[in-house]
Amino acid sequence: MKIKDLQMHCGNCSLVEMCGSPFEFSVCTVTDVHELDETEYMELYTKAESLVETDMTEYDDALGDTDSDFANEHHETVCKKIIELKNERRRKTDVQ
């Protein structure tokens, strides 16, 4: 399903672990990723997360606490990197 079609039905999609608090950061509210489907987003999330420098000890402590400022910030930072990767992929496709 395309991200734009998720319409903030929080917890009813496969991206719930990649989201922050619905009142802080939700993937489906980021229009720059609306055309990606859930599988594409998960693949890009894995790649982007490896490119984002994070103190994983802090992140592990924040997991499960969706109200955590750190978890929200982490997911938002990774999403920004996903947008960069998506745009980079688009540019490469446009050149070919």
Mean pLDDT by 10-residue block, N- to C-terminus, for the chain (96 residues)?
82 81 79 92 91 61 57 85 91 79
pLDDT for the residue 34: 92
How far lies 93's CA from each of 4, 47, 48, 89, in Å?
22, 19, 19, 6
**Beta-carbon count within 10 A of 88 CB:** 10
In the structure encoding, which two tokens stand for residue 57, read together? Answer: 């000890």
Q: How many CA atoms lie within 13 A of 88 on its CB side?
A: 8
pLDDT for the residue 84: 92
